A and B are shown apart, each in its own frame.
Chain A
């Protein structure tokens, strides 16, 4: 992503050229939709949430202080909205099972056993208490970058590290239960 392009497009939008916002949406649609998907695990809802995040960004463009990168700003807006939206309407049953969602995934070749375990891990992450889940989602979305995670969440890096560590402990405790549930589902 070119930061200069973002800045130029923001300037154009603020000068009244709304069509410049389309280029911002094109550049950021994939990251924002994917981030939303990691929160809600529902493709259709992820797009709705990302759309609202873009609208909020559009409304708040004047508030973007140029000392922070545009990416940091837009991720913070999206993250805040996604978290509040998920608190308002928690995610439902994990549509990782849904064929429609899976068809759209750029699935890597994963052995079946690994796939089951991965699914259990993701379910366990989804079931974490909100403050740990948020940190987990952002940490892995930002490719394990603590600093980017803390900026998106507006939390100190120490808090992010502490929540990651505590969240991992909770996950390790709960994972056998989720693996057991998966085995039960398969047996039925």
Chain B
């Protein structure tokens, strides 16, 4: 089949006519949407202290990991990974003390998932 023949076939698409109740149905959905209460905003005020504590804890553990480079030097694992592990281990210990290890693990997994998603999405462009 020649390209112009293909163009002719695909351009000759028949039109469909929307059903008579289509506009009414759309407007009913629109009115229902407009009358719905606004979505509940994210409670930033309540979440902020917890988020700040988490950020502080992660920053502290990273700083702590850099303060003790001797532990990482003997390892065959790349230094950046050992720093990261060294940072996470005390964090987990601290979290375990307060019974919040699952919360911390959840946060770490979310962070890892987010990083991976962003990495994959960035690669697609």
A residues in contact (CB < 8 Å) with B: 18, 21-22, 25-26, 29-30, 33-34, 37-38, 43, 46-47, 50-51, 54-55, 58-59, 101, 104-108, 110, 117-118, 121-122, 125, 136, 140-141, 143-144, 168, 171-172, 175
Query: Chain A's nearest CB lies how many Å from the CB of B121?
Result: 14
Residue contact B26 to A140, C-beta cutoff 8 Å: no
Known contacts: A51-B26, A121-B9, A140-B11. The answer to whether A37 contacts B1 by CB under 8 A is no
Query: Chain A's nearest CB lies how many Å from the CB of B120?
Result: 16
* Most chain A beta carbons < 10 A, residue from B3, B7, B19, B30: B30
Query: Chain B's nearest CB lies how many Å from the CB of A146?
Result: 13
CA distance A171 to B6 in the complex (A): 9
The prevalent SS among residues of B at the interface is: helix
CA distance A99 to B74 in the complex (A): 75
Q: Mark B4-17, 1 if CB is under 8 A from A, else 0.
A: 00110111111111
Determine which of B26, B31, B34 lies in contact with A54 in the assembled complex, contact meaning CB atoms within 8 Å.
B26
B residues in contact (CB < 8 Å) with A: 1, 3, 6-7, 9-19, 22-23, 25-27, 29-31, 33-34
Known contacts: A51-B29, A55-B33. The answer to whether A168 contacts B6 by CB under 8 A is yes
CA distance A136 to B7 in the complex (A): 10
Please name all residues of chain B whose beta carbon is closer than 8 Å to the beta carbon of A58 when the two chains form the complex: 30, 33-34
Residue contact A33 to B14, C-beta cutoff 8 Å: no
Known contacts: A51-B26, A108-B12, A143-B11. The answer to whether A168 contacts B3 by CB under 8 A is yes
Residue contact B14 to A105, C-beta cutoff 8 Å: yes
Please name all residues of chain B whose beta carbon is closer than 8 Å to the beta carbon of A125 when the two chains form the complex: 10
Residue contact A117 to B9, C-beta cutoff 8 Å: yes
Residue contact B11 to A26, C-beta cutoff 8 Å: no
Determine which of A33, A105, A122 lies in contact with B22 in the assembled complex, contact meaning CB atoms within 8 Å.
A33
